[in-house]
């Protein structure tokens, strides 16, 4: 299956088509509102706001690790009011195991790495030629993260 051939639904209930973004790097991150790494929203949003013409960041709220709010509306309000998140956030879904959403199943198939916790990051190069996986402990401000992104910005 073509990596970008996924349509998902945003927290606002709108259809999001990844085919429209295959010419730029994409950072996929599974998020949770009540996690020790939740403050990474701030760094992700800063990176997105400074580079949104050349970079896409997509959040995938998930309760797989029992730290997410109940509804898409609660998640949307939290992200907007607490961190002013403007990058696309998909509807709450699973990101691990057999119930993972189709995009995360594809990421797992290509990398053989599933999120071990919230705020795992998949950095996908333009055209999905290369996918790097970064654990929760690697923040958006870190050198390890920046060295993967900066060549595309």
pLDDT in tens, 76-132: 999 999 999 999 999 999 999 999 999 999 999 999 999 999 999 999 999 999 999
Q: Which has the higher per-residue pLDDT, 2 or 133?
A: 133
Q: What is the pLDDT of residue 90?
A: 98
Q: Could you tell me the two tokens for 17? A: 């088509």
**pLDDT single digits (tens) 18-42:** 999 999 999 999 999 999 999 999 9
Beta strands (DSSP E) in the chain are 7-9, 15-17, 26-31, 56-61, 121-124, 131-134
Rounded to two decimals, the pTM is 0.95
Overall average pLDDT of the 44-64 stretch: 96
- Domains of the chain and CATH, by start: 7-152 (3.40.30.10)
- Report the half-sphere exposure of 94 (CA within 13 A, side-chain side): 7
Spot the catalytic one: 27, 35, 133, 149: 35
pLDDT at 6: 85
pLDDT tier, 7 (very low <50, low <70, confident <90, very high otherwise): confident
For range 38-64, the mean pLDDT = 97
35 is catalytic: yes
């Amino acid at each position: 299956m073509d990596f970008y051939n996924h349509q998902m639904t945003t927290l606002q209930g709108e259809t999001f088509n990844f085919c429209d973004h295959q010419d730029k790097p994409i950072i996929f991150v599974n998020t949770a509102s009540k996690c020790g790494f939740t403050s990474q929203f701030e760094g992700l949003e800063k990176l997105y706001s400074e580079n949104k013409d050349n970079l896409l960041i997509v959040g995938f709220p998930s309760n797989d690790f029992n730290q997410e709010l109940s509804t898409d509306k609660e998640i949307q309000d939290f992200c907007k009011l607490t961190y002013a998140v403007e990058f696309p956030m998909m509807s709450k879904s699973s990101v691990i195991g057999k119930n993972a959403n189709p995009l995360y199943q594809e990421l797992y198939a290509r990398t053989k790495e599933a999120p071990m916790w919230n705020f795992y990051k998949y950095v996908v190069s333009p055209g999905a030629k290369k996918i790097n996986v970064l654990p929760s402990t690697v923040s958006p401000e870190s050198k390890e993260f920046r060295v993967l992104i900066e060549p595309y910005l």
